[in-house]
Amino acid sequence: MSLQDRKWEIERFFQERTEVLAAWPSGRGVDLEEALAYHRGLPKEKVAYYKLLKGQAEGRIYLQPRAGVALIDEHIALLRSLEKEGEADFLPTTVDSYTRQNRYSEAARGIKESKAADRSLLNGLPAVNYGVKNCRRIIEATGVPVQVRHGTPDARLLAEITLAAGFTDFEGGGISYNIPYAKDVPLERSLLHWQYVDRLCGFYAEHGIIINREMFGPLTGTLVPPFISHVVGIIEALLAAGQGVKSIAIGYGQGGNLIQDAAALRTLARLGRSYLDRFGYSDVLLTTVFHQWMGGFPQEEPRALGVIAWGAATAALAGANKVIVKTPHEAMGVPSLEANLAGLLCTRQVLRMLAEQRVPETPELAEEESVIEREVREVFDRVLELGEGDLAVGTVRAFEAGVLDIPFAPSRAARGGIMPVRDASGAIRLLDTGNIPLSAEIKDFHRKKIEERGRQEKREPGLRMVIDDIYAISKGRLVGKPR
């Protein structure tokens, strides 16, 4: 396999680059020298890396919405409002789903039809179609860092174009933007394509421009136990650092139980740092991102705001460097500006109110943290062992063997052998651990927690319970009660 966790020689990168830029006409507009010069001229407040560095030093929690529409003028107007009225600390440019699958002609049709209909028919900005010059207008029109958010297994051209346009922050990774976002993309291929993206960021870093790379923590957003997203995030961080990335954010999606979420956020920062240090990447800035609830939302806006506020409270009490904010239109699809503002203001209000409070150090929190740390270690060690010391190779083999697995993933590259369910207090456990190499002691812990719920609800834990959990929050509870 040509995939290895080793920094690409720059010749290999430039060789592949010719082909990448030729994939769509806008690729011709990318000029690295010009891009570096543009980045050098950006004020620090518009650069993600500097803002994250400052925020971490000051203990601040930044807020970032999701937003993207088909037409660039409307997109810019949307971002300006989110910055001015919503006080967003980081702005997004969410990319549409055709672009995510490299279907640029369909994206072009989406632009055309959106113009004709005078409303957005795409769920994001088709940045590749717009090219460097148009995308740069976004950077020129805004005063805070703008991040590219998407879900693209092959984001090489998207990265070339948006980074050259002046974006300083790019989300995604070879696992987290494949397994939850694709059906047929081999993992080896997406890991190679993301090594390209990371090597591009490494090239920028070698020239003094540090691009922040964020790994997508929530994965499928559906009952993902913390240790699974932690292992994935840590692997992606190490692979990115291996290509020369100097600023990395790893993420976690809210589960809903405060103790488990607090334990997850606290261990994510600690474990991430310790693995980066252990692999020799002590010079890499590491930050954490918390995603408010990523599963199904209630239809009614006030109820949805309740879910959002609980996410805000969790972030405030447990600590994170950035929160990705949901909107009260979540159950309805792509949100309006007003809904996005409501999510931001609601979150800000709760964060400020809880700024002086921390989750109490209890035995329950300590136990939850120690369980997550053990789970991560047990799985990570096995991945490295499968790769005979090479993390990239080990990752591919681990997914093939089901040693790494993600619940409810659309991709054939995931084995789909595990089944999560909530315990009596709403923490996410594994009903079926599939081929994940957890120790007997940890498996016992999961089993006992689930049995406890079974007794309380007087039913055998099984698929019915899992489905009840998936619908639970949209129906007004955390734990899915028997219908």
Partner 1 sequence: MSRKDTVVLGVIGADVHAVGNRILEMSLRQAGFKVVNLGVMVSQEEFINAAIESDAAAILVSSLYGHGELDCRGLRDKCRESGIGEILLYVGGNLVVGKRTFAEVERLFRDMGFDRVYPPGTLPEVAIADLKRDLGL
Coil vs helix vs strand at 85? coil
Binding mask 153-182 for partner 1 (x = CB under 8 A): ---------------------------xxx
Q: Least separation, in Å, of the C-beta of 415 and partner 1?
A: 14
- Phi, then psi, of 13 in degrees rounded to 5: -60, -50
Catalytic residue among 100, 136, 199, 415: 100
**Residue from 66, 67, 68, 73 nearest 118 by CA:** 73
Residue 233, exposed/middle/buried by CB under 10 A (0-12, 13-18, 19+)?
A: buried
Interacting residue with partner 1 among 26, 64, 93, 97 (CB under 8 A): 97
**Residue 471 counted as an annotated binding residue:** no
**Residue 181 counted as an annotated binding residue:** yes
Query: Cα 151 to the chain's mean position, in Å?
Result: 9
Place of tokens 């800035």: 285
**CA–CA separation, 408 and 289 (whole Å):** 22
- The reply to whether 190 sits near partner 1 by the rule CB under 8 A is no
6 is catalytic: no
CB atoms within 10 A of CB 7: 16
**CA–CA separation, 353 and 348 (whole Å):** 9
Residue 24, exposed/middle/buried by CB under 10 A (0-12, 13-18, 19+)?
A: buried
Window 215 to 234, contacts with partner 1 (CB under 8 A): 220, 222
**Residue 193 counted as an annotated binding residue:** no
Binding-site size for partner 1 (CB under 8 A) equals 41
**Residue 43 counted as an annotated binding residue:** no
Q: Least separation, in Å, of the C-beta of 200 and partner 1?
A: 24
**Residue 44 counted as an annotated binding residue:** no
Interacting residue with partner 1 among 4, 56, 336, 435 (CB under 8 A): 336
Binding mask 99-138 for partner 1 (x = CB under 8 A): -xx-x--x--xx--x-----xxxxx---------------
**CA–CA separation, 293 and 254 (whole Å):** 5
**Residue 123 counted as an annotated binding residue:** yes
End-to-end CA distance of the chain: 50
DSSP notation for 388-404: TT-HHHHHHHHHHHTSS
Tell me the torsion sign for CA atoms 188, 404, 248, 82: positive
Outline where 319-462 has alpha helix (H): 337-353, 363-386, 391-401, 440-457
100 is catalytic: yes
Which residue, 103 or 477, is less far from partner 1 as judged by CB?
103
- Name 93's bridge partners: 148
- Name 428's bridge partners: 422
Which residue, 248 or 294, is less far from partner 1 as judged by CB?
294
Which residue, 69 or 259, is less far from partner 1 as judged by CB?
69
Window 290 to 329, contacts with partner 1 (CB under 8 A): 296, 299, 329
- Name 422's bridge partners: 428
- The reply to whether 410 sits near partner 1 by the rule CB under 8 A is yes
- The reply to whether 23 sits near partner 1 by the rule CB under 8 A is no
**CA–CA separation, 466 and 450 (whole Å):** 11
Interacting residue with partner 1 among 278, 463, 476, 481 (CB under 8 A): 463
**Residue 98 counted as an annotated binding residue:** no
Catalytic residue among 171, 368, 369, 375: 171
Interacting residue with partner 1 among 218, 335, 394, 437 (CB under 8 A): 335
**CA–CA separation, 110 and 154 (whole Å):** 20
Window 415 to 454, contacts with partner 1 (CB under 8 A): none
Which residue, 328 or 437, is less far from partner 1 as judged by CB?
328
Indicate the annotated binding residues.
66, 68, 100, 123, 149-150, 171, 177, 180-181, 297, 326, 330
Catalytic residues: 100, 171
Chain residues binding partner 1 by CB under 8 A are 69, 96-98, 100-101, 103, 106, 109-110, 113, 119-123, 151, 180-183, 220, 222, 296, 299, 329, 331-336, 339, 408-410, 463, 467, 470-471, 474
